[in-house]
A and B are shown apart, each in its own frame.
Chain A
């Protein structure tokens, strides 16, 4: 007879790893490096925040599994987002295509995970404007997509 030991460690065993047919994400890590920091820095200094936003969204490292690259891109994106003046946000969001709206929404949620006092209000404003364009669908895609930012 087996005894009830109260052990719960077995619950943490990932049984799927012993299953050779189990689902695996498509591995297409082609060494994405994310957006170039100097290019974005340059655009920010010239007050071209809107262009800087497009650069970070178009070069978002989605496929890579390298967390450092993702973190670096996140910090850069947050810097771009907080550099906007509130009245300009509307136009910047409206100039994005639907793919970039989804990526922007992912960055907003990821940014809120590590919110600091300095950027929460900016992120909430971004969220409001992005939601007005992307709707509930873009939030669904933040929740479901395996390609995280």
Chain B
């Protein structure tokens, strides 16, 4: 139902898979990006990308072009292309930002990528063939604080951004000389570069941790530090639906069908929500159903493991009942797409990446129906 992969005791701050899920790139809260190759059921380290001078904040691996883009607190972003001998070649992107880069994401057509930053702007980069480099353009207004998260609309033009000024916004990332003219969509018909297409706040102060467009691009979900989950449906008048629950805040969110979404964060437990056609958002279930662990004598191996990870030799009563033993930092789709996701992956501060099988969870958890 859920397969667990451990990468040591350092937090996995961000992770991404390649197209056929045989490759994995992650950063263990350091300036290094590690690349792994799947070997049987194990992940084998193959290379390490060491160009960043400070902590890597985000990685994205483009499925079709097989390029990796990384960004870090050193205000740089690199596009990595694979050489024929399997090594990776970095290509520095001049982002022109004076604060840390926080988040990076390829557009669905993989021709552009957007970087969020503490300099209160979004930097959209595209490749200029004549000069053989990546050119950046900035979206500044009216962002008032650090951009923490981004997501691309399926049309590769609109960008959703969440920020620490408590707002989720939709911008146009249309580059006139580069993109084909976009068709009108539910967020608007005219999309000049940098235009603010929508701006939403749930009225209370919670930093936005994650945003996600639904597979059709009509719905936008974001999660904030005020323990809220918020959905706006642009096709239905853009009214805001919020759930402010009694759970801890979520760090990451993604749609798994047009109507269902999975959020995970400080609860260490992925949670399914459903947004129905009437515009009602409901918490369906937590996916990590606790299993009572058999209490027994501790093996010598566990004793030393505890020494290593917790500096204690005693039986750990502090162990959580969830599979992740600490905050979940990021959710990614593992198999399928946002429209019909069958497996998704979560990375955690506990150094684990867990791959969850939605279909088998649906069968085993009573009352869990993913519409």
Contact = CB atoms under 8 A, between A and B. Distances in A.
B305 interface: no
A138 B244 CA distance: 8
B28 to A, nearest CB: 28
B66 to A, nearest CB: 39
A102 B246 contact: no
A116 interface: no
Contact of B205 (A102, A134, A144): A144
Given A141-B226, A147-B205, A23 B144 contact: yes
A24 B247 contact: no
Interface string B125-162: 00000000000000000001100000000000000000
A23 B244 contact: no
B120 interface: yes
A52 B39 CA distance: 66
Contact of B225 (A24, A133, A134, A144): A144
B227 interface: yes
A135 B33 CA distance: 38
Contacts of A136: 227, 246-248
B249 interface: yes
B227 A21 contact: no
Nearest to A102: B244
Question: Which size bracket describes the interface of A in this complex?
Answer: 10 to 19
A140 B244 CA distance: 10
Nearest to A19: B120
Contacts of B247: 135-137
A121 interface: no
A137 B204 contact: no
B8 interface: no
Contact of B226 (A21, A22, A98, A140): A140
Given A140-B227, A144-B225, A144-B226, A135 B245 contact: yes
B169 to A, nearest CB: 14
A98 B249 CA distance: 16
A102 B226 CA distance: 11
B145 A140 contact: no
Given A21-B120, A23-B165, A137 B145 contact: no
Contacts of B215: none
Given A137-B245, A140-B225, A145 B205 contact: yes
B246 A144 contact: no
Contacts of B164: 23
A138 B165 CA distance: 20
A94 interface: no
B173 interface: no
A96 to B, nearest CB: 13
Contacts of A135: 245-247
**Shortest 6 CB-CB contacts between residues of A and residues of B:** A135-B246, A137-B227, A146-B205, A23-B144, A137-B246, A140-B227
6 contacts: A21-B144, A137-B248, A140-B226, A141-B206, A141-B226, A146-B205
